[in-house]
Structure 1
């Protein structure tokens, strides 16, 4: 590649333009599918049933994505860039077809698992391919475009899901993903090289840890199907046991999910991961049920409820853009103040969301402000939490630290969905159901998850107190 320009034109013209379209298309398919799923789920359960398995749709999809994303470098090394991308897109399309044709919730869940395996590859492979396809000077802009697809998904996903849900054609929402996957597959075949130029073989997949991780999420999901507290407690107990085993094994394994310092007592790196996991869990627990709450409790259409639910993710994006340029003491202020803003938003949601209304604009406005506050809080802290992970990573584990950010976020998303499903069912979502059951579910969900930003008050204080080497150097230069 002869063009070493760092400008956008070098990335968005010529053969690079087609390569970029193929890569961002893969990430976009994964992200848009998440928002399509959350938007149409209330319509899906009214059609084929399975309300008690509502949260499983997100939990299983994300667990499958975690496993396949962890396999991405292995797949890339064995199949080569072109065929690896094609395999991911084909698996995703097959899963989408299964969801579109699903006659019952078990078939839908199976389709979501297949979608997740394909989607995880489409999410992880583009990041791994950047250094294979572009000059190094273009890497930052390429990464920025891939990250920006989540913002695009908050606009496109609810629109696709909402329109088809209102037309009582939710199956077509999944169907639209199939030709899109086919298009990006064709582009990949045309411009992505067949052979892999990686200079060293990829490390082996940590199967034991991934199995324990998936088992923990499934245990919580299984426990959450019942409204009986004993069954719920058993599911949580099994999940805790599996999580402890995961920590013990990963701490001593030659091939780990997280850097070695993550599990050390008093570790700042561990506090960083815990803070990020709590923040991601808080957003997920709110977003997956928000479309249902807005439709049943506040008389909103599927399209409107999809966009109202996406407000939180939009706030996350805006908060990240606002906060990303902060340095020095402003970074510590952002990390410490984020849990307070999130706490205010979650308390407001706990008070306002459970009360049924006729959809008056005053109540909707207050709910939007509360959801925006939670999203902004996460966005304000997230760039700096991620940067600190990279800055204090143990020598030689910088790449593992970078990949672990996505692992932690996806695991927290899956676990948050599973826990939210358990709490909602315990609150009456499936029994007695209806407006009363949905109101009880909202009250339990936000009432319990308001504890998450409270925990973040403690973990974020520890992470903000640590001063990475780069920050210390900046302070010394200023003096």
Structure 2
């Protein structure tokens, strides 16, 4: 065994990009990439237009809920995707998910109040979660195995493409004060996509007599914990906030207890063993994703405190996602000691970026040089997650039994989405407690930004400790094996 065993090398590629984009495969690629793009572009559009939405119909105290409910619904949709695929087949499953997505977009477009918009976001999230999860599941059904890695790379690249499209669409409509049109734009595009999907993809089911059972108790507890924090975030009363966190903590503890004894599980065996390497990896994934959830308020802070237009604020916020994509590209090929360094340095980058944002975002300024280090801070946060991400994911697979590799793949998405929803809920709580809606305005935004970025430093700081322990335990095991081998 050598240091290179800490990361898993990519399998050799036997087919090129031309094969993925030729003939029938090109049609499949358009559908799978299109589904992920719909989900991702929608996220960046809404992030960009939210300040305009609350300026029109109110609901600033529920600002973070637009992200929280969407992601919670995405988790539920992702969990349901396998059963939809089994019973309806890829074509009909994609069409059904698109119909949900369209219904949610229309609800958002006509919403007279923020609560109704939140209902639309929840429906959108259900459809988007199915689209996101099925993209990976359908790869195995429509491509030969030699193209699987290329197809996964294509799907991952759509997030980077979405950082260019989403803020532009949302920013233009926000600039002209017609934010509802951003949702209406999604409707015809989604309908065209759904029509192509049902025409191109196989319509028959996979014919499995007994679809895999759903971990319904865990999903219910997971949802309840996020909703508890979100409910607590509405008030600026610390007692109400504390009650929300207490209930969420109880739900999370019960979730762990149920998961340990369940036959239908969310996580592979060993993922919750205290002191194990697998639990350190999952916790690090959750902490890094949580640290990124400060970005949901960045467009608001940039507009209120730094005089940026909705379009510019949307693109600057997307720097985090761009950094994630760039970091993953730069880090993915590293192995051995280079992979270990990437794993160690990722949380440090995130921590450093948040420190920069803590120092600069709360301080009001005009359009000037102060914006450059803020841009750097946003980029570095995303870069840190991207640098560590390939090595976190590959080591999750390395630490998981061969019989549970499929569960491990799904669990990474589940943990990522849960951390996104929970982090967004906590961000809403901290921002409201910090004065976002009371006293509000520039004063409230400045105070909220200070408390938000300050509180979220804890997430990457803990990730630094966990990564250090993971590498330390691996080195101890390596030393012990070397001694036994003598």
TM-score, scaled relative to structure 1: 0.95
List alignment gaps of at least 5 residues for structure 2.
1-12
Against the structure 1 CA distance between its residues 356 and 248, is the aligned structure 2 distance closer, same or farther, given a 3 Å change threshold? same
Name 2:221's counterpart in structure 1. 212
Q: What secondary structure, in the 3-state scheme, does the structure 2 residue paired with 1:338 have?
A: helix
Contact 1:19 1:187 in 2 (8 A): no
Question: How far apart in 2 are the matches of 1:199 and 1:52?
Answer: 46
* 8 A Cα contact 1:61 1:113, kept in partner: yes
Taking the TM superposition and a 5 Å limit, the aligned residue runs for 1:38-77 are 38-77=47-86
Confirm whether residue 139 of structure 1 aligns to residue 148 of structure 2.
Answer: yes
Measured after TM superposition, the shift of residue 200 of structure 1 is 7.4
1:230 Cα shift?
0.2
Structural mapping, 1:393-472, within 5 Å:
393-467=400-474
Q: Give the 3 Å change call, closer, same or farther, for CA 42–416 of structure 1 in structure 2.
A: same
Q: Which residue of 1 aligns with 2:315?
A: 307
Shift of 1:464: 2.7
The CA deviation string for residues 176-197 of structure 1, in whole angstroms up to 9 with x for no partner, is 1111111111111211111134
Distance in 2 separating the partners of 1:411 and 1:103: 29
Residue 210 of structure 1 deviates from its aligned partner by 0.4
Separation (CA, whole Å) in 2 of partners of 1:136 and 1:217: 38
Cα distance, 1:155 vs structure 2: 0.7
The aligned residue for residue 300 of structure 2 is 292
Structure 2 matches for 1:226-305, cutoff 5 A? 226-284=235-293, 286-305=294-313
Residue 34 of structure 1: aligned partner: 43
What's the Cα RMSD here?
1.6
Q: Which runs of 5+ in 1 are unaligned?
A: none
Of 380, 384, 403, the match for 1:377: 384
1:359 maps to 2:367: yes
Q: 1:10 to 1:395 in 2, by over 3 A?
A: closer
TM-score, normalization by structure 2: 0.94
Quick one: distance in 2 between partners of 1:147 and 1:344? 26
CA contact (8 A) 1:68 1:117 kept: yes
- What is residue 23 of structure 1 aligned with on the other side? 32
Where has structure 1 moved over 6 Å in runs of 4 or more?
none
- Report the Cα distance in structure 1 between the residues aligned to 2:148 and 2:286, rounded to whole angstroms: 27
Query: Does the 8 Å contact 2:101/2:123 carry over to 1?
Result: yes
* Cα drift, residue 467 of structure 1: 4.3
* Corresponding residue SS for 2:308: coil
Render the CA deviation track for 1:25-60: whole Å, top value 9, x for unaligned. 111000111111110000000000000000000000
String of CA shifts for 1:265-290, please: whole Å, max 9, x gaps: 20110010000000001112x21011
Aligned to 1:222: 231
Q: 2:97 aligns with which of 70, 81, 88?
A: 88
Q: Could you say if the C-alpha distance between residues 5 and 397 of structure 1 is closer, same or farther in structure 2, counting changes exceeding 3 Å? A: closer
Which string of whole-angstrom CA distances, capped at 9 and with x for unpartnered residues, describes residues 432-451 of structure 1?
10000011100110011111
Q: Can you list the C-alpha shifts for 1:322-366, whole angstroms capped at 9, x where unaligned?
A: 111111111111111222222221111111100001121x11101
Query: Deviation of residue 198 (structure 1)?
Result: 6.3
Could you tell me how far apart the structure 2 residues matched to 1:164 and 1:396 are? Answer: 49
Q: Are the counterparts in 2 of residues 261 and 394 from structure 1 also a CA contact under 8 Å? A: no
Q: CA deviation at 1:201?
A: 4.3
**Contact 1:42-1:292 at 8 Å conserved across structures:** yes
SS of alignment partner, residue 326 of structure 1: coil
Whole-angstrom distance in 1 between the partners of 2:167 and 2:23: 32
* Equivalent residue, structure 2, for 1:340: 348
Deviates more, 1:180-189 or 1:206-215: 180-189
> Any conservation in 2 of the 1:96–1:177 contact (CA below 8 Å)?
yes
- Aligned-partner SS, 1:195: coil
